[in-house]
Structure 1
């Protein structure tokens, strides 16, 4: 990764601090809705504003996580929790501010996470993953702690997709040797996409019955059914009558063997005998001695019927 201008890094550092402060206030609204006490406000604020970066630093083994090395992160998150605890922020204006601020933070944190991963030598795909994790990890942890399905997984609004877009842009431009431009421009399309998804109610489409592999398999099976039926018809016409009769007799004999009572004296031996008789019949067919094979099967069947009649079984 090329050396990044210190002014750009300072610019992103200021935005990170501002993002931690703002996000701590935003996520603390969840604590108010859940009627948490002040300790709950602090926990939600710290996890929501710092969780993504802490997970990123842990995974890339960056030593002590940034939130622990620089006390300013913890201070800003704590102040944000106090503001949210003592001030009930609500109304349409606050909702619009929350949506726009969240969209901006998604792009900035995704770029910051991907850039830090590249600085530590991670490959492009891993860097993109770290960018998405940085932007969405805190929100996922808050949702899990409060018993809500994470917004990233539900898809009611594009949330992870804008972060993914920012991370991909900064990684691609870094590969092209334009890291600075990537850091400056990547948050813009992600923020725009997040806002458009809110105003136009965009979401990733999904239906519980969506299974294109199964649908393709069913289509191919239905398309091949006429061909299969026609091939069977042709095979029946080409098969000699004696061979077909022999095959039917062998199948009938096997059905009778399988239908015997489970208390037979030696079902294993009877099964072996049936297999042996069928094998001899098939061998006779191979040797073009169809009539002999048919006679052998018929004789065996008659003997078996007589034997079963003598044993008193139908």
Structure 2
């Protein structure tokens, strides 16, 4: 059992780590199923999806069918074994989360590498190879969270999952195309693991949407210079039309706030999860509800009891 036809210890190690990744992600899927109070069938399905969905989607997209997860009996067998472990063992706590994260980063590096190299072998263009690496590494998590009714974490949690996968995929693609396949599958997982782990302990996050968009500011400045050339009748018509969407009482951003936005709205009242710095007092339930009010309703609103009373007055 070797990966990518590389008949040496590196190819053997990547193939074994690939199966270990299926087992670990099946366990992670099982812990999610436990929190959602699923039955044994739910445990098994969520575990299989967590461990194999990314690779299955990759193979289906590049035409590598039947997909590897269905051809090799080890994949489904190990995924079911991981589901059984999560079903009979309640894994939780700080040490489990620490081990889970670092194991997840190792497997993320392995899977972004296998996804990229598999796409290269199928003749996919270089942007598609990077995409297939990211899809292989994160696809199982995305499908799992969609099935349980959550917005996938890679979209709004600001965690470093996709960025390390991209870095690992680029490393694998460059070295493999340069004629060093063994170096590619050895170095790429290491690059992704180092970047993801460094981001975790250093507190690096993916940036969110900027409140003040620079391009809008530059456009307003440039168009302001040309405003004198606009006919008054056309300006009045344009302002009338542009005000309609904001007057719709049902208009909404349609997005849930991120954890970072809620923490920011707490005004420093929550203790940090990791990293240096003084200990802060944890937020109380009332402070948390006030933060939700500021995020959802009014950014500068008064969420005190007096403020609520004033808003109820006729």
TM-score, reference length from structure 1: 0.68
Partner of 2:6 in structure 1? 5
Which string of whole-angstrom CA distances, capped at 9 and with x for unpartnered residues, describes residues 217-276 of structure 1? Answer: 012234x36xx76x99xxxxxxxxxxxxxxxxxx9xxxxxxxxxxxxxxxxxxxxxxxxx
Name structure 2 gaps, 5 residues minimum.
Answer: 234-314
Partner of 1:109 in structure 2? 111
What is the correspondence of 1:40-79 to structure 2 with a 5 Å cutoff?
40-79=42-81
Which string of whole-angstrom CA distances, capped at 9 and with x for unpartnered residues, describes residues 58-83 of structure 1? Answer: 00101201111011100000000001
| SS of corresponding position for 2:41 | helix
Name structure 1 gaps, 5 residues minimum.
Answer: 233-250, 252-314
Distance 1:61 1:207 in 2: 36
Partner of 1:171 in structure 2? 173
Distance 2:119 2:168 in 1: 14
Partner of 2:153 in structure 1? 151
Residue in structure 1 matching 2:188, options 178, 181, 186: 186
| SS of corresponding position for 2:209 | coil
Partner of 2:301 in structure 1? none
Partner of 1:291 in structure 2? none
Distance 1:208 1:77 in 2: 41
Partner of 2:135 in structure 1? 133
State whether residues 4 and 179 of structure 1, in contact with CA within 8 Å, keep that contact through their aligned partners in structure 2. Answer: no
| SS of corresponding position for 1:90 | coil
Partner of 1:96 in structure 2? 98
Distance 1:123 1:179 in 2: 17
Partner of 2:26 in structure 1? 24
Distance 1:210 1:190 in 2: 32
Deviation at 1:210, TM superposition (A): 4.8
What is the correspondence of 1:194-233 to structure 2 with a 5 Å cutoff?
194-207=196-209, 209-222=211-224, 224=225
Alpha-carbon spacing, 1:30–1:213, altered in 2? closer, same or farther (3 Å): same
Distance 1:22 1:204 in 2: 25
Alpha-carbon spacing, 1:188–1:210, altered in 2? closer, same or farther (3 Å): farther
Alpha-carbon spacing, 1:123–1:211, altered in 2? closer, same or farther (3 Å): same
Deviation at 1:196, TM superposition (A): 2.1
Partner of 1:86 in structure 2? 88
Alpha-carbon spacing, 1:10–1:97, altered in 2? closer, same or farther (3 Å): same
| SS of corresponding position for 1:122 | coil
Structure whose CA Rg is larger: 1
TM-score, reference length from structure 2: 0.68
Alpha-carbon spacing, 1:174–1:93, altered in 2? closer, same or farther (3 Å): same
State whether residues 11 and 182 of structure 2, in contact with CA within 8 Å, keep that contact through their aligned partners in structure 1. Answer: no
Alpha-carbon spacing, 1:37–1:208, altered in 2? closer, same or farther (3 Å): farther
Distance 2:203 2:35 in 1: 24
Distance 1:217 1:149 in 2: 33
State whether residues 158 and 207 of structure 2, in contact with CA within 8 Å, keep that contact through their aligned partners in structure 1. Answer: no
Counting matched residue pairs gives 227
Deviation at 1:122, TM superposition (A): 1.2
Partner of 2:292 in structure 1? none
Structure number with the higher helix fraction is 1
Residue in structure 2 matching 1:142, options 144, 156, 176: 144
Distance 1:110 1:66 in 2: 16
